[in-house]
């Protein structure tokens, strides 16, 4: 039989660490008193679980008003949390969206001039423009963050907490760069229309091949054991390692952003860019939805169940990104007021 203090301690685990640091002691006292009055209460357990979930979502910048820290209310912390979650959600959009986009660009390389004006190819153009715009915005967002991180690294107090995630990020990016370059050599678009027939003269074939290699893992091949068995072991290993490296790189980048103590002006700049990035991703998701709604396209531009699932993931991640942006904006207004 557990004591009320032990039971309260177990209930407290529903809450994130930062919340526990601020409210844990007093909340435990209240729980002990409540348990003494009502020894068994499923409603209390559910209420605490729900409260813990909300606190976790709030900590991720996804729900509710700004967080209070041990030093008091801290809206800027909430902005950083929102931007971190927003970045992660957009990274998911990009990773999953890239797989569909890659398939369509390969289809484009091989499509006949007759099919070049098909609806699927028009959707490809829209998605390509969105993808390029998104990458440009990502670069615009990353550059000042890199500057702040580099500046903070020179100061031991600010730089120390960033060393860990920076190292992890560097390793993950190195894995992705080397693997992407190596496996990109097997890009199925090679040998297509090339310079003359390419409808993407502004997107170098090397970039298309690289993106394709990074999205190889997003494939229906996982549910076809015979096809899997026929794959070279090296490629199979890459398909397993690549999503892990992508996830590790995303988490490390988000941790870095949250620890970098970005100044308020930069947080404002990032939330402004995020609005644009979300709008572009809405266009991209619209292109995916259109492509699927018309039943795919000719040849390699056909769509399947995995593309429906991919579009759903992009839409879901986009919803998370929009909510994180809304929370970040609200917290930023509060910080400025």
Partner 1 sequence: MPERDRGQSAGGSALAGFGRYAGPATLILSSLADGAKHGYALTKDVEEFAGVRLAPGTLYEALARLESQGLIEALESDDRRRPYRLTAAGAAALQAHLDAQRRVTETGLRRLRANWGVS
* Residues 63/66/71/72 CA torsion (nearest 10 deg): -120
The reply on whether position 34 binds partner 1 by CB under 8 A is yes
Going by the DSSP 8-state scheme, the letter that residue 221 receives in this structure is G
Of the candidate residues 5, 21, 29, 224, the single one contacting partner 1 (CB under 8 A) = 29
Of the candidate residues 5, 6, 10, 47, the single one contacting partner 1 (CB under 8 A) = 47
* Residues 16/22/28/29 CA torsion (nearest 10 deg): -170
The reply on whether position 50 binds partner 1 by CB under 8 A is yes
In terms of CB distance, is 77 or 148 closer to partner 1?
Answer: 77
Of the candidate residues 16, 73, 188, 299, the single one contacting partner 1 (CB under 8 A) = 73
Going by the DSSP 8-state scheme, the letter that residue 220 receives in this structure is G
> What phi and psi, each to the nearest 5 degrees, are found at residue 331?
-65, -35
> What phi and psi, each to the nearest 5 degrees, are found at residue 261?
50, 55
Pull the structure tokens for residue 114.
């007759």
Of the candidate residues 4, 16, 20, 23, the single one contacting partner 1 (CB under 8 A) = 23
User: Can you give the three-state secondary structure of 92-117, one letter per residue?
Assistant: HHHHHHHHHHHHHHHHHHHCCHHHHH
Measured distance CA(124)–CA(119) in Å, rounded: 9
Of the candidate residues 10, 13, 21, 49, the single one contacting partner 1 (CB under 8 A) = 49
The reply on whether position 5 binds partner 1 by CB under 8 A is no
* In the complex, minimum distance from the CB of residue 100 to partner 1, in angstroms, rounded to a whole number: 36
In terms of CB distance, is 70 or 156 closer to partner 1?
Answer: 70
CA angle 21-25-27, nearest 5°?
105
The reply on whether position 64 binds partner 1 by CB under 8 A is yes
CA angle 245-248-249, nearest 5°?
85
CB of 149 closer than 8 Å to CB of 256: yes
The reply on whether position 267 binds partner 1 by CB under 8 A is no
Of the candidate residues 48, 176, 242, 318, the single one contacting partner 1 (CB under 8 A) = 48
The reply on whether position 66 binds partner 1 by CB under 8 A is yes
The reply on whether position 19 binds partner 1 by CB under 8 A is yes
In terms of CB distance, is 94 or 324 closer to partner 1?
Answer: 324
| Residues found in the chain | 337
Number of residues that bind partner 1 (CB under 8 A): 32
In terms of CB distance, is 64 or 144 closer to partner 1?
Answer: 64
Query: Which is nearest to 39 in space by CA: 76, 4, 79, 91?
Result: 4
In terms of CB distance, is 31 or 321 closer to partner 1?
Answer: 31
Q: Which of residues 157-196 bind partner 1 (CB under 8 A)?
A: none
In terms of CB distance, is 67 or 106 closer to partner 1?
Answer: 67
**Residues in touch with partner 1 (CB under 8 A):** 19, 22-23, 25-31, 33-34, 43-44, 47-52, 54-55, 64-68, 72-75, 334
């Amino acid at each position: 039989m557990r004591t009320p203090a032990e039971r309260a301690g177990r209930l407290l685990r529903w809450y994130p660490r930062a919340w526990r640091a601020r409210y844990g002691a007093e909340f435990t006292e209240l729980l002990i008193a409540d348990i003494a009055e009502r020894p068994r209460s499923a409603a209390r357990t559910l209420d605490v679980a729900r409260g813990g979930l909300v606190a976790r979502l709030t900590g991720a910048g996804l729900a509710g008003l700004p967080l209070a820290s041990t030093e008091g209310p801290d809206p800027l912390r909430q902005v950083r949390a929102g931007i971190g979650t927003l970045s992660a959600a957009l990274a998911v959009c990009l990773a999953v969206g890239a797989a569909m986009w890659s398939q369509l660009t390969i289809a484009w390389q091989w499509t006949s001039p007759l099919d070049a004006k098909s609806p699927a190819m028009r959707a490809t153009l829209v998605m390509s423009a969105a993808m390029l715009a998104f990458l440009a915005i990502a670069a615009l967002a990353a550059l000042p963050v890199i500057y702040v991180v580099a500046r903070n690294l020179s100061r031991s107090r600010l730089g120390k907490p960033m060393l860990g995630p920076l190292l992890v990020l560097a390793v993950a990016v190195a894995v992705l760069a080397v693997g992407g370059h190596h496996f990109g050599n097997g890009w199925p678009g090679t040998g297509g229309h090339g310079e003359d027939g390419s409808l993407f003269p502004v997107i170098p074939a090397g970039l298309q091949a690289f993106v394709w290699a990074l999205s190889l893992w997003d494939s229906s091949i996982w549910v076809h054991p015979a096809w899997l068995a026929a794959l070279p072991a090296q490629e199979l290993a890459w398909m397993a390692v690549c999503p892990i490296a992508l996830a590790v790189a995303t988490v490390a980048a988000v941790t870095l952003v949250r620890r970098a103590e970005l100044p308020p002006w930069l947080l404002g700049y990032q939330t402004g860019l995020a609005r644009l990035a979300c709008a572009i991703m809405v266009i991209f998701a619209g292109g995916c939805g259109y492509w699927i709604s018309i039943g795919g396209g000719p040849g390699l531009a056909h769509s399947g169940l995995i593309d429906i699932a991919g579009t759903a993931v992009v839409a879901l991640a986009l919803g998370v990104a929009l909510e994180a942006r809304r929370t970040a904006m609200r917290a930023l207004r509060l910080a400025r007021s």
